Amino acid sequence: MPKALKRIKMMLVFPCMCSVAFYMGAQIVTHTEAAFVTEQKVQGSIAAAPVFPKTIYTLKQTAKQHEKVILQVYENMKKEVEEEASIEVLENRLVSWKEQREKVAFERELLQKIYIEMEGYYHQLQESHSQEQLQSVKENLNVINMICKNVDKAAGIQKIDEEIRTLQKQVDAEKGKKLHEQANVLEKQEAEHVTATESTATEQPSHHKEEQPSEQDVDSHLKEATSK
């Protein structure tokens, strides 16, 4: 009887031990697989966004093009300020400047996006071990930063807005001057018309008076008629 009981206990314990061993093995395999997959994802993320020298060069050249466009717009504005122009030309210039202002704002926004992208590459390389690439990106980032500062200082939106306000005042002043001149011309014409009317009215009674015979002439004519 004791042998049979011992055999039954062994039959019950053995499956339990197998289950525990299987569970522990599964946990080890799962942890290892998860670690491997995570490592693959990290490596894949780093490899998915490489920083090529050509990309950095293209960004820098594009930034220089945006700078050139912005500076050219402002330079043209300054040249036009020195030119004499009629009111019509000034009004057309004002419309053109407002359009150019929007163009400069758009170019400046694109320039800022380039700086942000370059800055992102710089931070990305800081986390890696490519010191040579990091130094190259840092130098180009500084170049783009200087371009942004130069644009804002030489031809920023605030400077362009100031030029537009000055031109608007000039247009308003010229319009006011023209209206004043027109009013003076009308006033002069009205004064001349009144003077001419008064002169005509003064001359007409005098002619009528000259045509009427005097009282002395009438008396003499009556005496002559009576004597006859």
Domain ranges for the chain: 6-45, 49-186
Banded model confidence at residue 25, pLDDT cuts 50, 70, 90: low
C-alpha–C-alpha distance, residues 192 and 185, integer Å:
11
C-alpha–C-alpha distance, residues 115 and 118, integer Å:
5
pLDDT of 48 strictly over 50:
no
Banded model confidence at residue 33, pLDDT cuts 50, 70, 90: very low
Three-point CA angle 39, 40, 46, nearest 5°: 95
**pLDDT reported for residue 75:** 94
b/e per residue 11-37 (b: at least 16 CB within 10 A)? eeeeeeeeeeeeeeeeeeeeeeeeeee
pTM: 0.60
Cβ count near 149 (within 10 Å): 11
pLDDT of 41 strictly over 50:
no
Cβ count near 100 (within 10 Å): 19
Joined together, the tokens standing for residue 116 give 């942000």
